[in-house]
Structure 1
């Protein structure tokens, strides 16, 4: 999406109605950024994040591994906050710094890159604490374990699906009132699809342009045959939001040819 417009949408003549399905509090920050771009956000998370309440494992540990900013609140003010924090991407690193963790290092948004970064910096056998959610991916844990690191997983938070599609989203879908949706995680995308399907709005959901942080995030939509999606060329919010501007032919976004017609190009 690096080739897309970077000026406010109103300068391009198109303001999009954008569903921000991301959980709070990150969803609120994203909605504010969407509005600053000249679009009209609809903040309606499909996952509810809450601390797990599980106590942190006893150490000692040499470093923290963070693959989501959602794990940071459980670390703030704790003895673990003095450990080096190895973060998967810029958003997680930003949250860690804001919570007073230091030093903070980041890997550019990719779990395997995070494992490589740790491998270049910490000796094999180092004791790592991965503060994560209840539902998490295998990486970087599998790679770190295979390379001889002693990794302990602490379930610091849990993401619980909402019981039903948020009413403002259902109403917007009923009137073709959504132009785009933002998806930051595979589970969030899958949950949004499942709730829309259960509410009898899958057809309308499929007509929305789904902007996904990565190909992995988009996978549930692809598996369901939903072609109206774009994938950010870099797994960061800046790139994802840049793609909200009408997709240009010279954009390097990976875009489905079945994007809804009629979108203006800058």
Structure 2
């Protein structure tokens, strides 16, 4: 008589809810169980857009797309450069028409602007309050005008009770981390609930070495880091690490 088939690993997805649901669906399609554990929530800042006119628009996150309707631009005519294809899809869904796409990072975005737009072009960068210096700094250095509008912000929210209860019960096997900030919030949330030891025992997968740093500082030893800062790379490295860690519980090795 054979025993019951072991349950697939349960994975916490530690990112904003709207993104985490998409990631959870990908994990479940790959044979894992997923529990959405948002630590960051996207909220409008309420800051008014800067005065135009603008020759073109930069969009470095899909989260910025809903705010384009408030910008002083003609969505049907103004050229919009999106950082990657998912962001471009969100921009088109928001009404953007003349949408071009970079290759998913600031470096390719800077190169695309320099190839396509002459120095002196005035850009509106619709982004978050806690955005990185690039691509704005390099574009300004090459003579392009960039006016940043922090239309949204990533607000911290507590790790929810369902996630804490699952960690406390020992039913969580792994966690995915998408930024240094969210990993820090995860570590702090578990410590505040008296679950730091439980967190250290999990298999962690981080999108970058920077995102892994708070986990390592908290004493986690099983950390897989994506080869490049993309979700595809993160899920690949997680699947490989999970197969080694959980064996036959992972569909890929059954």
**Which TM-score band applies after superposition, normalised by the shorter structure?**
0.7 to 0.9
What is the correspondence of 1:99-138 to structure 2 with a 5 Å cutoff? 99-138=94-133
What is the correspondence of 1:214-233 to structure 2 with a 5 Å cutoff? 214-233=208-227
Superposed CA RMSD: 2.6
Alignment correspondent of 2:44: 51
> Hey, what's the Cα distance between the residues in 1 that align with 2:208 and 2:67?
26
What is the correspondence of 1:2-13 to structure 2 with a 5 Å cutoff? none
Deviates more, 1:192-201 or 1:66-75: 192-201
Alignment correspondent of 1:142: 137
- Alpha-carbon contact 1:90-1:236 (below 8 Å) kept: no
SS in 1 for 2:17: coil
Q: TM-score, normalised by structure 1?
A: 0.80
The one of the two structures with greater contact order (alpha-carbon pairs below 8 A, sep at least 6) is: 1
Alignment correspondent of 2:153: 158
- Give the direction of change, closer, same or farther, for the CA distance of 1:123–1:20 in structure 2 (3 Å limit): same
Deviations 1:176-224 (A, max 9, x none): 3222222223322222222223222222222222222233433433454
- Give the direction of change, closer, same or farther, for the CA distance of 1:72–1:124 in structure 2 (3 Å limit): same
> Hey, what's the Cα distance between the residues in 1 that align with 2:20 and 2:230?
14
- Alpha-carbon contact 2:49-2:72 (below 8 Å) kept: no
> Hey, what's the Cα distance between the residues in 2 that align with 1:219 and 1:123?
40
- Alpha-carbon contact 1:211-1:240 (below 8 Å) kept: yes
Alignment correspondent of 1:33: 26
- Alpha-carbon contact 1:212-1:229 (below 8 Å) kept: yes
Q: TM-score, normalised by structure 2?
A: 0.83
Alignment length, in residue pairs? 243
- Alpha-carbon contact 1:212-1:230 (below 8 Å) kept: yes
> Hey, what's the Cα distance between the residues in 1 that align with 2:91 and 2:43?
17
Deviations 1:53-111 (A, max 9, x none): 22211111122112211111111476533422222223222222222323222322222
Structure ranking higher in helix proportion: 2
Instruction: Name which one, 1 or 2, has greater alpha-carbon Rg.
Output: 2
